[in-house]
C-alpha cells in the first residue's frame, strides 16, 4: 500500500519515476507472483509541467477526501492515501484513468508554452545545437560507440531547425543504422534526407552548398568502396596521418528464409493465450488485471503519468475528444466514424497499458560486438571469447517474447536480427504445457542466490524471485554431475570406488553391473561435451570474423542441440548441471553469430580513449 501521510505536497525528489515500475505477469504465466520491492527508482529532476500536474492530481484527491467526510458527517476511520479510495477497486486500465479524468480540472490542464519552460526552452529547434550533437555523434561513431552515436544523431535530427541540418543528421544516422543491420530504416532516412535537402531549398541560392554536398557524397562513396575492399580482403585501412585504423566487419544477415528447427517465433506459429487475440481498438487498454498482484501506489503513479502524457499528445496536435465522448465507455455498443476523434480516456488507457508493460515485458534491442585480439597475422584476428560486448541500442515491446516468465535457468533465448526482427530460440526441450522463461539476472552458475536477488532488486525492483532455482538454491549444489538412472529414474552420483562399487550415497537400487556400464556411457558423453566446449571456440579464433562458414556454424549448432536433447545429456544429467549450462551458453553465442546482428572490433578500438579526429566522418 502507499504511504500513510496526511500531507499532500510530495517533494519532487521523492517522486517515483513511473516508467520504471515493473508489472507482474498474469496467472496465465506464473502461479506464484513475484513480490515487488517497496521502493522505486528515484529521479531527482522532473519536468516542470509534470510537477504541476502531480500537484493538481494531489489537490483533486484532497477534495475527494473532504467530500467524503462531509457526506459521512464524520471523519473516516481509515487513514487517507495519495489516491481516491475507489481507485484500489478498479479492475481495468480504463476504469483507473476514468477515476482521474472525470474531474474537470484534470481535463482542463494545459502545458506551459515552450518558451516559458526551462526544459522546453533547451529543446527548441536550433541549428547550432544540432551541429554540436552531430559532432558528438561523429566522435562516438569514430570510436565505434554505436548506441551513443545513434542517440546523438537522433537528437541532432530533432534539434535541426533548417532542412539542410536535418538532412545531414539523417545521412549520419543512416550510417549507424546500416552498421546494425536496420536496412529499411537506412532507406527511410536517406529518402527523408533527399526530400529535406533537394525539395525545400532554393537551387539558385544553394549552388555552392550543392557543390559542397556533391564533394561530400563523392568522399563518402570512395570511403564506402575502401571499406568494402577491406572487408573482402581483411586489409586494415590507413588514415590521413598514416596511422593504422583496424578494419571493422559487420554481420547482419536477413531473417532466415527457412525457419530453424529451434525457432519458436516463426510466421506459422503462435503462442496461444487464455484470452482471444485483440482485433480492434475497443479491445486494447482495458483488459482485466489482477490488482492483488500490483502495488496500488505504483498503479496510481503510472495512471497519473499516463493522463499527463495524453495532455502532451494534445499539445503536440493530436486530435482527441476531450468533451462529449471523453469518458465514453468502450465496453458498450460504441461505434466511431473515421472522422471522429478518439476519446481521450481510451488513449490514456492505452498509454497506461504500455507504461505498465514496458518496464517488465520490454526487450532490450542489442547488437553483439566481438572483440578481436591484435594478431601477428593481420588477416586472421583472434576473437577474444571472454570479452564479448553487448551494446544496448534501445528498448522495444515484442508481445510474444514479453509473455515469458522469469527464471534463473531460462529455456529460451532471443536473437536480434536485421531490421528489428527479434527471434526466440529454445535452449532445451520444452514439454507440452511448460512455460517459456527468460533470465533477468544471469545464469545460476554465474551468481550465487544472494547476488542474483540483489541484481533483481536493484535493476527490476523484484524483491523475491520465486523460480525453482532460487527456491532450491541451486547455486550451493555440488558441481559434480548427477545422472538419472534410465531404469528406475532415481539419481546416480558419478562416484565409483576403485573396486567398481558405487558410493554409499547412491539412491539408485539397480544392480551395480548395470549402473557401472550406464555411468561409463554417460561419462563418455560428458567428456565429449567438455572437449567440444574447448574445441568449438578455437575454430572461430582461427578464422576471419566476416568469413565464418555458415556450414560450420550449422554443424556446431546441430551438435549442441543434439547434446541438449532429451536423448542425450539433457535426458540423463540431473539439474543443476554446470555442463548443461556451459552448453547452453555456447549455443547462445553461436545462434547470435549465425542469425544475429553483430560486429567485430579490435581491442585497440575498445581500449583507446584518446580523442579522435572527427573530420574523417562521411558527412562533416
**446 and 591 in a common domain:** yes
Q: Decide which of 362, 390, 411 is a domain's last residue.
A: 362
**453 and 320 in a common domain:** no
The residue assigned the cell 528515484 is 42
The residue assigned the cell 568522399 is 219
First-last CA distance in the chain: 54
Instruction: Say if 438 falls within a structural domain.
Output: yes
CA torsion, points 114, 117, 122, 125, in degrees to nearest 10? 10
- DSSP secondary structure code for residue 573 in this structure: B
The residue assigned the cell 484527491 is 61
**440 and 558 in a common domain:** yes
CA angle 103, 106, 111 (to 5 degrees): 165
Q: How far apart are CA 24 and CA 30, in angstroms?
A: 9
**460 and 321 in a common domain:** no
The residue assigned the cell 581483411 is 234
pLDDT, position 599: 67
**479 and 433 in a common domain:** yes
**pLDDT tens for each residue of 150-176:** 889 988 988 888 888 888 898 889 888
With a pLDDT cut of 90, the percent of the chain lying above it is: 4
Instruction: Say if 602 falls within a structural domain.
Output: no
Instruction: Say if 560 falls within a structural domain.
Output: yes
**474 and 547 in a common domain:** yes
**584 and 440 in a common domain:** yes
Higher-confidence residue of 343 and 289: namely 343
**pLDDT tens for each residue of 359-390:** 666 777 777 776 666 554 455 556 666 666 77
Q: Are 584 and 446 contacting, i.e. CB atoms less than 8 angstroms apart? A: no
Q: Looking at the 3D structure of the chain, how many domains does it have? A: 2
Mean pLDDT (the chain, rounded): 67
Instruction: Say if 104 falls within a structural domain.
Output: yes
C-alpha cell at 488: 528406475
pLDDT, position 308: 93
**514 and 437 in a common domain:** yes
pLDDT, position 2: 36
Higher-confidence residue of 576 and 134: namely 134
pLDDT, position 147: 82
Instruction: Say if 77 falls within a structural domain.
Output: yes
In 327-365, which positions are buried (b, 16+ CB within 10 angstroms) versus exposed (e)? bbebeeeeebeeeeebbbbbbbbbbbbbbbbbbbbbbeb
Domain limits for position 60: 43-116+283-362
pLDDT, position 278: 38
Instruction: Say if 430 falls within a structural domain.
Output: yes
**325 and 410 in a common domain:** no
**pLDDT tens for each residue of 452-484:** 667 666 665 566 666 777 777 776 555 666 777
Amino acid at each position: 500500500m502507499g504511504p500513510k501521510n496526511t500531507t499532500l505536497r510530495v517533494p519532487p525528489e521523492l517522486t517515483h519515476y513511473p516508467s520504471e515500475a515493473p508489472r507482474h505477469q498474469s496467472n496465465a504465466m506464473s502461479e506464484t507472483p513475484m513480490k515487488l520491492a517497496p521502493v522505486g527508482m528515484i529521479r531527482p529532476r522532473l519536468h516542470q509541467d509534470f510537477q504541476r500536474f502531480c500537484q493538481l492530481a494531489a489537490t483533486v484527491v484532497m477534495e475527494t477526501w473532504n467530500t467524503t467526510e462531509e457526506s459521512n458527517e464524520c471523519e473516516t476511520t481509515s487513514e487517507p492515501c495519495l489516491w481516491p479510495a475507489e481507485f484500489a477497486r478498479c479492475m481495468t486500465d480504463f476504469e483507473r484513468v476514468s477515476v482521474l479524468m472525470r474531474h474537470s480540472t484534470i481535463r482542463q490542464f494545459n502545458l506551459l508554452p515552450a518558451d516559458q519552460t526551462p526544459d522546453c526552452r533547451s529543446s527548441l529547434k536550433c541549428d547550432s545545437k544540432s551541429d554540436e550533437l552531430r559532432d558528438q555523434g561523429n566522435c562516438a561513431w569514430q570510436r565505434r560507440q554505436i548506441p551513443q552515436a545513434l542517440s546523438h544523431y537522433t537528437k541532432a535530427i530533432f534539434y535541426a531547425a533548417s532542412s539542410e541540418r536535418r538532412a545531414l543528421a539523417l545521412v549520419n544516422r543512416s550510417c549507424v543504422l546500416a552498421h546494425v543491420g536496420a536496412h529499411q530504416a537506412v532507406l527511410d532516412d536517406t529518402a527523408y534526407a533527399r526530400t529535406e535537402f533537394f525539395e525545400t531549398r532554393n537551387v539558385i541560392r544553394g549552388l555552392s552548398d550543392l557543390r559542397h554536398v556533391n564533394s561530400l557524397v563523392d568522399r563518402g562513396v570512395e570511403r564506402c568502396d575502401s571499406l568494402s575492399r577491406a572487408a573482402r580482403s581483411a586489409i586494415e585501412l590507413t588514415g590521413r596521418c598514416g596511422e593504422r585504423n583496424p578494419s571493422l566487419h559487420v554481420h547482419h544477415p536477413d531473417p532466415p528464409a527457412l525457419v530453424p528447427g529451434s525457432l519458436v517465433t516463426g510466421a506459422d506459429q503462435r503462442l496461444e493465450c487464455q484470452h482471444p487475440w485483440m482485433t480492434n481498438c475497443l479491445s486494447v487498454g482495458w483488459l482485466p488485471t489482477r490488482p492483488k498482484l500490483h502495488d496500488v501506489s505504483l498503479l496510481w503513479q503510472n495512471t497519473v503519468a499516463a493522463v499527463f502524457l495524453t495532455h502532451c499528445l494534445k499539445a503536440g496536435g493530436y486530435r482527441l475528444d476531450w468533451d462529449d465522448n471523453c469518458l465514453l465507455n468502450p465496453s458498450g455498443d460504441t461505434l466511431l466514424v473515421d472522422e471522429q476523434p478518439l476519446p481521450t480516456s481510451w488513449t490514456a488507457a492505452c498509454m497506461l497499458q504500455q507504461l505498465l508493460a514496458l518496464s517488465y515485458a520490454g526487450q532490450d534491442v542489442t547488437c553483439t560486438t566481438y572483440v578481436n585480439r591484435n594478431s601477428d597475422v593481420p588477416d586472421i584476428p583472434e576473437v577474444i571469447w571472454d570479452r564479448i560486448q553487448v551494446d544496448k541500442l534501445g528498448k522495444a515491446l515484442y508481445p510474444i517474447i514479453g509473455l515469458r516468465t522469469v527464471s534463473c535457468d531460462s529455456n529460451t533465448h532471443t536473437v536480434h536480427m536485421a531490421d528489428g526482427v527479434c527471434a526466440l530460440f529454445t535452449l532445451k526441450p520444452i514439454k507440452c504445457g511448460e512455460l517459456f522463461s527468460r533470465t533477468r539476472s544471469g545464469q545460476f552458475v554465474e551468481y550465487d542466490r544472494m547476488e542474483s536477488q540483489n541484481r533483481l532488486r536493484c535493476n527490476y525492483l523484484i524483491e523475491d524471485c520465486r523460480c525453482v532455482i532460487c527456491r532450491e538454491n541451486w547455486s550451493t549444489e555440488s558441481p559434480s554431475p548427477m545422472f538419472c538412472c534410465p531404469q528406475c529414474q532415481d539419481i546416480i552420483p558419478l562416484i565409483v570406488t576403485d573396486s567398481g562399487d558405487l558410493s554409499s550415497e547412491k539412491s539408485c537400487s539397480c544392480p551395480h553391473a548395470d549402473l557401472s556400464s550406464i555411468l561409463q556411457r554417460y561419462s563418455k558423453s560428458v567428456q565429449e561435451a567438455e572437449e567440444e566446449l574447448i574445441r568449438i571456440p578455437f575454430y572461430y579464433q582461427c578464422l576471419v570474423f566476416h568469413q565464418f562458414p555458415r556450414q560450420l556454424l550449422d554443424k556446431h549448432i546441430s551438435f549442441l542441440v543434439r547434446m541438449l536433447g532429451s536423448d542425450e545429456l539433457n535426458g540423463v544429467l540431473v539439474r543443476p548441471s554446470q555442463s548443461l549450462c556451459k552448453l547452453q551458453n555456447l549455443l547462445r553465442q553461436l545462434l547470435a553469430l549465425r542469425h544475429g546482428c553483430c560486429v567485430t572490433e579490435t581491442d585497440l578500438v575498445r581500449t583507446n580513449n584518446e580523442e579522435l579526429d572527427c573530420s574523417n566522418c562521411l558527412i562533416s
